[in-house]
Chain A
Amino acid sequence: MNKPLDLLQGTLDMLILKAVSLGPLHGYGVLLRIQQISKDRLEIQQGSLYPALYRLEHQGWIASEWGESENNRKAKYYRLTAAGKRRLQTETDKWNRMSDVIAGILHTTPEEV
């Protein structure tokens, strides 16, 4: 198995928004969801997850409420807000454009120049 990739700077927020857009999650759940979707190919610093969650909530893109976890423990659940949905959309568009451009540059052959 390949060594997991370190997360690109600034992409964690986007991944969190995506993760909670699929349904409310608690913090640990967000971590698991990202790992599951990425098939463990991404390495996420657990410590950096919470500051990101707090930041997103502070910006109004996600909202939180206390609920019960699968094993009946008190946990804080995050869900996407309407503003968050719009934000995820623009972030996704921006990311796609960016990766197209980067990929285009990287695939350039000498003949094309």
Chain B
Amino acid sequence: MTLWSRFRSWLRTTVRRSRMESDMDTELRFHIEAYAEDLVRKGLPRPEARRRARMEFGGIERAKEECREARGVTFLESLAQDIRFALRMLRKSPGFTAVAVLTIALGIGATTAIFSLVDATLLHPLPYPHPEELVRIDDDLPGTGATDAGISIPEFKDLQRSGIFQYVVLEIFGSANLTGVSQPSRMQYEGVSPAYFAMLGVKPELGQTFDPQDQTPGFTLDVVISDGLWKRAFGSDPHILGKSVRMDNDLYRVIGVMPPGFRDPGRTADERNTEQWAALNFSSANRSLRVPLETVGRLKPGLTVAAAQSQLDALVASLQKQFPDAYPADSKWTVRLVPLKETVVGNVRQSLILLLGAVALVLVIGCVNVANLLLARASVRSREMALRQAMGAARKRLVRQLLTESLLLSLLGGVAGLVILFCMKGFLLRLIPESLPRLNNLSINWTVMLFALAASLAAGVIFGLAPARQAGRLNLASTLREGRGSKGSKEQTRTRRVLVVTEFALSLVLMIAAGLLLHSFWDLLNVRLGFNPQHVMSVQLWLPSPNDPKTDIYGTAAQEAVFARELLRRSRLLPGVREAALGAEPSIPLQHDGNRSQLIVEGRETQSKQPPLVERSEVTPEYFHLLEIPVLRGRLFNEGDDEKAPLVAVINQAMAETYWRGENPLGKRLMLGRGRPGVGLRVRKTWITIVGVIADARTESLANATVPQIYLSLYQDTPKELAIFLRGDLNVGAIPQEVRAMVQSVNPELPVYGAKTLNDAVSASLEQRRFSMDIVAAFAITALLLAALGIYGVISYIVNERTHEIGIRLALGAQRGDVMRIVLRQGLSLAIAGVAVGLVGALIVSHLMAGLLYGVRPTDLLTFAGVAILLISVALLACYIPARRAMRVDPIVALRYE
């Protein structure tokens, strides 16, 4: 009964709120008037009676408030009331509102943008069901220094039978010519065990995928294609199923199309861009024969990676006992499970966390600035607050009112931030480097929206707390006595100073992070390359390698040399070209994913069954001269190094140092194992003689000067992925078309792609670094501006407050220069305090980000000192404006003003 009546009363009052308000008004007014009447009857004059009646009643507002509370309507009711009031206040000062909302909007917008990136990469890296079960299986041979050494087929069968996995799948990546469509193009394909799609748990959009139980050896002739390829090459043909595609001269039948957004969880951008999948089964009984395949598996449900690893270790130990010949003890064979997520995002985690940290700092600095603005406004509104308290408003209510105002501001800012983000989405997406590992499309989904909401609320609380606390402590008597435009309390000034110091400290941290990244980047840009990328372009082409070797017209070195020489002859005739060279794809500086071959050095072959790996590529004789890489000892290749001559190699200084330290490498002999599929595919049982040593060039990595490299003569080998190098006064826009026409005049079936200048290749290799540096630098500049604005605000405020005092000082004969110095000193002390605190933070942060730096120590004095000086100078500049105003104070005006 009481519950019901209580609810009814609550409902009534909530629904008919305005009616209740007016009822309450009427009732209270009736009381006061009736009392006043009685007092008049007792002989008091009417005005005096009214006054007494009001006074004896006490705080009317508080009584009303308590009545509302008694009704149990307070929370929602007063919230609505607070919001209405807050909106009115914000409308009344549009300038303040605009600045605050915009600051928050930028902060929230930027934070949300970075968060959506983090969400798509770090938080949801694998767009497959139960992603935590997916692992990459790497075989290591630590005894020989080889990691990810490939797997033998019997080992693969052991893994399938081990009971640890639901599925184990082998993968091999490659690229192939797609012909029989309008323009021959190159395309990434992947040979996979038939259980591949079942393991990832993704269904096709059209048709079917492979039967996981299929045991047909070799490549099946059925393929599954990506949605992208279906749209691009087949115009979304709805009758695609059953049609044929020609890949490297072989015919395949399309049996399925994957949905848009399906991507292979590969390690490199090329692997992730796979567009065609063919089923592949291997049969080999040789345990020692490791094939360069990727192994991926899905663990049995409920099995943790750690538990699976220990079961796997036991399996490895028993296999080693069972087959001692295949697993010599000195190679120390181990099998390692790596969560698939790690292999996809592993190397960008640090960069992304840095970005998120940086953007969060910007948001906090923005909040501090808004808090400062609110405090300034609070001092103007302190009289209003005091008055409302004097009339009986509870402090708790006032604090809540202020918090409502700041939350409203931050939510408006958050919404505006999201709107900005939506509008700039296309532009922002273009900033993200392709090499950033992500399988998901970036989207502003519910998680991201929720994050934006949470960030806005947090921001609102952060910047609303200081002013609200202040209002809660207002000294009524003094505030009311001081009158309009009163000074803020001492405490308020102190709070504002603390805020500015915080702001400076945070800005310094961000700026030092940006400075260190900039310094690293600068060092990398100015690194001695060891080759000359000026006026050089490279264009790629791909020779088909059909499954039937008899149909391969470039099957032997002699056949390919004829083609290569013809290509070079025609290349030199292109407009502007002065020099031309040919190389295998890995010879393109700073681009390839590595092509490492096993190295067997003569006289040392018995050391271990698992030889070390070196970077290898094949080039024509002109290559070194074209890139201006000097020879240090011996000779370079010449036209005579062809398939009839003995095999020769040129190595770099780093390789000579690694394998023949203190010896003369010239004349030494070696053998090379299998390289990447498609690149130097042949395994030779022939000795190769070293004929020359070239200087080290950073063609592998800008950051690493000494990667051992070996070059073979292209005329003695048959690489399939080729690059044409051209030097001269090239028309960058016309070259791709000219080279394509030239190549297709030799063989119209060959795709030509990837034309670029080597300068672009150099800067592209810095893409990810540049991305994080650009963003952190942009944030740092924003932070600097906000900090400058903050200190300007506080100093202006202090100058305003001290106008009277300055007037007196001037009247008493103080020099104007002194006045200026006093003000500047005040600003300087704030800035220095902020910098001092910030330096400590920056030292911590710089050590955390040490992995992202190149050639710069985390304690780089130049960066630290430079940034500190810059920040202090900006602070002085920001204080100069109010200081000049202080200097120009007219004592007469200042004194009369009071």
Known: A50-B28, A50-B63, A71-B37. A58 touches B71 (CB 8 A): yes
Those of A12-34 within 8 Å (CB) of chain B? 26-28, 31
Q: Does A97 contact B (CB under 8 A)?
A: no
Q: Output the nearest chain A residue to B59 by Cβ-Cβ distance.
A: A47
Q: Which residues on B are within 8 Å of A, measured CB to CB?
A: 1-2, 5-6, 9-10, 23-24, 26-28, 30-31, 33-35, 37, 56-60, 62-63, 66-67, 69-72
CB-contact partner of B31 in A28, A52, A57, A58, under 8 A: A28
Q: Does A74 contact B (CB under 8 A)?
A: yes
Q: Are A75 and B30 in contact (CB under 8 A)?
A: yes
Q: Are A47 and B63 in contact (CB under 8 A)?
A: yes
Q: Are B67 and A50 in contact (CB under 8 A)?
A: yes
Q: List 26 interface pairs A-B (beta carbons < 8 Å), by A numbering.
A: A27-B31, A28-B30, A45-B58, A46-B57, A47-B59, A47-B60, A47-B63, A50-B24, A50-B28, A50-B31, A50-B67, A51-B63, A52-B70, A58-B5, A58-B72, A59-B5, A59-B6, A60-B5, A60-B6, A69-B34, A71-B37, A73-B30, A75-B27, A76-B23, A76-B26, A83-B1
Interface centre among B33, B35, B63, B71, by most chain A C-beta atoms within 10 angstroms, is B63
Q: Does A48 contact B (CB under 8 A)?
A: yes
Q: Does A94 contact B (CB under 8 A)?
A: no
Q: Does A95 contact B (CB under 8 A)?
A: no
Which residues of the other chain, B, contact A45 by a CB distance below 8 angstroms? 58
Which residues of the other chain, A, contact B66 by a CB distance below 8 angstroms? 48, 50-51, 54
Within the complex, the shortest CB–CB distance from A52 to chain B, in Å, comes to 8
CA distance A60 to B4 in the complex (A): 9
Interface residue total, chain A, C-beta cutoff 8 A:
24
CA distance A50 to B10 in the complex (A): 17
CA distance A57 to B73 in the complex (A): 14
Q: Are A54 and B67 in contact (CB under 8 A)?
A: yes
Which residues of the other chain, A, contact B1 by a CB distance below 8 angstroms? 60, 83
Within the complex, the shortest CB–CB distance from B59 to chain A, in Å, comes to 6
Interface centre among B6, B23, B66, by most chain A C-beta atoms within 10 angstroms, is B66
Within the complex, the shortest CB–CB distance from A24 to chain B, in Å, comes to 14
CA distance A99 to B493 in the complex (A): 56
Q: Are A51 and B70 in contact (CB under 8 A)?
A: yes
Q: Are B30 and A59 in contact (CB under 8 A)?
A: no
Q: Are A47 and B62 in contact (CB under 8 A)?
A: yes
CA distance A52 to B70 in the complex (A): 8
CA distance A46 to B392 in the complex (A): 14
Within the complex, the shortest CB–CB distance from B72 to chain A, in Å, comes to 6
CA distance A109 to B175 in the complex (A): 108
Within the complex, the shortest CB–CB distance from B577 to chain A, in Å, comes to 93
Which residues of the other chain, A, contact B72 by a CB distance below 8 angstroms? 58
Which residues of the other chain, A, contact B35 by a CB distance below 8 angstroms? 28, 46
Q: Which residues on A are within 8 Å of B, measured CB to CB?
A: 26-28, 31, 45-48, 50-52, 54-55, 57-60, 69, 71, 73-76, 83
CA distance A28 to B37 in the complex (A): 12
Known: A45-B58, A60-B2, A60-B5. A51 touches B69 (CB 8 A): yes
Which residues of the other chain, A, contact B62 by a CB distance below 8 angstroms? 47
Task: Give the top 7 A-B pairs by smallest Cβ distance, nearest first.
Answer: A47-B58, A60-B5, A51-B66, A54-B70, A55-B70, A47-B63, A54-B67
Which residues of the other chain, A, contact B63 by a CB distance below 8 angstroms? 47-48, 50-51
CA distance A109 to B509 in the complex (A): 77
Q: Are A28 and B34 in contact (CB under 8 A)?
A: yes
CB-contact partner of B70 in A46, A58, A73, A83, under 8 A: A58
Q: Are A58 and B27 in contact (CB under 8 A)?
A: no
Within the complex, the shortest CB–CB distance from B235 to chain A, in Å, comes to 72
Interface centre among A26, A47, A76, by most chain B C-beta atoms within 10 angstroms, is A47
Q: Output the nearest chain B residue to A51 by Cβ-Cβ distance.
A: B66
Q: Are A58 and B6 in contact (CB under 8 A)?
A: yes
- List 13 additional contacts besides A51-B70, A58-B6; criterion CB under 8 Å: A47-B59, A50-B27, A50-B28, A51-B63, A54-B70, A55-B70, A58-B9, A59-B2, A60-B9, A73-B33, A73-B34, A74-B30, A83-B1
Q: Output the nearest chain A residue to B37 by Cβ-Cβ distance.
A: A71
Known: A54-B67, A58-B70, A83-B1. A76 touches B37 (CB 8 A): no
Q: Are B70 and A69 in contact (CB under 8 A)?
A: no
CA distance A66 to B66 in the complex (A): 21
Which residues of the other chain, B, contact A54 by a CB distance below 8 angstroms? 66-67, 70-71
Q: Output the nearest chain A residue to B30 by Cβ-Cβ distance.
A: A75
CA distance A76 to B9 in the complex (A): 16
Q: Are A51 and B67 in contact (CB under 8 A)?
A: yes
Q: Are A27 and B5 in contact (CB under 8 A)?
A: no
Q: Are A69 and B71 in contact (CB under 8 A)?
A: no
CA distance A46 to B30 in the complex (A): 13
Q: Output the nearest chain A residue to B392 by Cβ-Cβ distance.
A: A47
CA distance A75 to B1 in the complex (A): 27
Within the complex, the shortest CB–CB distance from B463 to chain A, in Å, comes to 35
Which residues of the other chain, A, contact B37 by a CB distance below 8 angstroms? 71
Q: Are B9 and A46 in contact (CB under 8 A)?
A: no
Within the complex, the shortest CB–CB distance from A42 to chain B, in Å, comes to 15
Q: Output the nearest chain B residue to A73 by Cβ-Cβ distance.
A: B30
Q: Are B26 and A74 in contact (CB under 8 A)?
A: yes
Within the complex, the shortest CB–CB distance from B393 to chain A, in Å, comes to 13
CA distance A39 to B175 in the complex (A): 105
CA distance A26 to B72 in the complex (A): 22
Q: Are A76 and B27 in contact (CB under 8 A)?
A: yes
Which residues of the other chain, B, contact A50 by a CB distance below 8 angstroms? 24, 27-28, 31, 63, 66-67
Which residues of the other chain, A, contact B57 by a CB distance below 8 angstroms? 46-47
Which residues of the other chain, B, contact A60 by a CB distance below 8 angstroms? 1-2, 5-6, 9
CA distance A98 to B453 in the complex (A): 55
Within the complex, the shortest CB–CB distance from A15 to chain B, in Å, comes to 17
Within the complex, the shortest CB–CB distance from A34 to chain B, in Å, comes to 14
Within the complex, the shortest CB–CB distance from B56 to chain A, in Å, comes to 6
Within the complex, the shortest CB–CB distance from A104 to chain B, in Å, comes to 33
CA distance A10 to B809 in the complex (A): 61
Q: Are B2 and A83 in contact (CB under 8 A)?
A: yes
Q: Output the nearest chain B residue to A75 by Cβ-Cβ distance.
A: B30
Which residues of the other chain, A, contact B56 by a CB distance below 8 angstroms? 46
Within the complex, the shortest CB–CB distance from B311 to chain A, in Å, comes to 67
CB-contact partner of B9 in A57, A71, A75, under 8 A: A57
Q: Are A69 and B67 in contact (CB under 8 A)?
A: no
CA distance A50 to B68 in the complex (A): 10
Q: Output the nearest chain A residue to B5 by Cβ-Cβ distance.
A: A60
CA distance A16 to B716 in the complex (A): 111
Within the complex, the shortest CB–CB distance from B3 to chain A, in Å, comes to 9
Which residues of the other chain, B, contact A26 by a CB distance below 8 angstroms? 27, 30
Within the complex, the shortest CB–CB distance from A73 to chain B, in Å, comes to 6
CA distance A58 to B10 in the complex (A): 8
Within the complex, the shortest CB–CB distance from B616 to chain A, in Å, comes to 87
Within the complex, the shortest CB–CB distance from B396 to chain A, in Å, comes to 16
CB-contact partner of A69 in B23, B30, B60, under 8 A: B30
CA distance A45 to B62 in the complex (A): 13
Which residues of the other chain, A, contact B9 by a CB distance below 8 angstroms? 57-58, 60
Within the complex, the shortest CB–CB distance from A89 to chain B, in Å, comes to 16
